[in-house]
């Protein structure tokens, strides 16, 4: 992603319906909210971000027990976590260099009934097979939050 498209210290580009959108968050409490995430049996999430912050939430959507969340857990760690009713699952990728370098980084996360995948900058990738038996549907009810957890405390995980 070229520099200068968004003038902000913390920015994210995300795609909805094949269109790329940009958002800039200039304070720690900044966020966007959307209708409930529609990814019951499968979800593909892809976005670019650049930040100087050491950690932060990219997106989160909660249900009664189910949830989906993508976050920068530390300067070198991206986490994709979710629960479809079988207990929390977390995939993480560790970067060799800090991600809070004000450079663009791409995150791709996928979850379906067979596996889940997390990829960073087309370099770091991890995946996990879904359980052969158990729940497969992600049942969410709250709004999708981008940029901040929807609760004042940490997420469900």
Residue 149 has pLDDT above 70, yes or no: no
Would you say domain 11-146 falls under CATH 3.40.190.80?
no
Q: What is the mean pLDDT of residues 89-97?
A: 96
Return the higher-pLDDT residue of 142 and 19.
142
The predicted-structure confidence for 14-58, as pLDDT tens digits, reads as follows 555 555 677 777 777 778 887 888 878 888 888 889 998 898 899
- Cα 152 to chain centroid distance, Å, stands at 18
What average pLDDT does the structure give for the chain? 80
Instruction: Tell me the domain boundaries of the chain.
Output: 11-146
Residue 105's Cβ-side half-sphere holds a number of Cα atoms within 13 Å equal to: 24
Residue 113 has pLDDT above 50, yes or no: yes
């Amino acid at each position: 992603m070229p520099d200068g498209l968004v003038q902000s210290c913390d920015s994210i580009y995300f795609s909805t319906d094949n269109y790329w959108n940009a958002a800039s968050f200039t304070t720690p409490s900044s966020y966007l909210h959307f209708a409930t995430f529609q990814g019951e049996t499968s979800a593909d999430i892809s976005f670019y971000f650049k930040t100087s912050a050491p950690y932060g939430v990219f997106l989160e959507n909660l249900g009664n027990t189910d949830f989906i969340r993508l976050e920068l857990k530390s300067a070198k760690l991206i986490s994709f976590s979710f629960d479809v009713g079988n207990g929390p699952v977390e995939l993480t990728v560790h970067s060799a260099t800090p991600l809070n370098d004000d450079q663009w980084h791409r995150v791709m996360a996928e979850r379906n009934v067979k596996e889940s995948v997390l990829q960073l900058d087309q370099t770091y990738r991890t995946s996990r097979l879904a359980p052969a038996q158990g729940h497969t549907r992600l049942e969410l009810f709250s709004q999708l939050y981008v940029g901040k957890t929807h609760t004042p405390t940490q997420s469900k995980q």
